[in-house]
Amino acid sequence: MTAKEYLSQAYKIDNDINSKLEQVASLRDLATKATSTISDMPGSPNRNIHKMEDAIVKIIALEDEINSDIHELISLKADITHMIKRVANRAERTILEKRYLCFDTWEQISVDMGYSIQHTFRLHDKALKEIDGFLKVES
């Protein structure tokens, strides 16, 4: 695994969590919709009369997955933080933290640090090479 792949894991888990949160919100909207149709026609014997219960069960299952993902993300971020703290140069550490822990864009990192985007990329590449060295030693 390269340094970039290692550091990018947190972003992917964070995106998974956000996606699942959107799904939960959608299911909550579905579960709270209550429509009634008044008709003298008999109801369909095949219709799902447990629609709300099914939605609640799915919400609970998704929330359990989200909690599991959050625990995984917290653990991974702690590992990544430990790895980043081993980088010698402070500016390089800051770039790695902003990119892989705060998920800032390259433009935002450059503006925040007062560097050109090219210089930010150079520092980032240098830091990744250092992290690659740490990962090779540990494997």
Residue 24's pLDDT is 92
Look at residue 3 and give its three-state secondary structure. helix
pLDDT tens, per residue, the chain with 139 residues: 899 999 999 999 999 999 999 999 988 887 777 555 555 556 555 555 567 788 788 899 999 999 999 999 999 999 999 999 999 999 999 999 999 999 999 999 999 999 999 999 999 999 999 999 999 998 7
Look at residue 35 and give its three-state secondary structure. coil
Q: Are 98 and 104 in contact (CB under 8 A)?
A: yes
- Report the predicted TM-score, pTM, of the whole model to 2 decimal places: 0.79
Residue 28 token pair = 């909550």
Closest to 13 measured CA to CA, from 78, 58, 61: 78
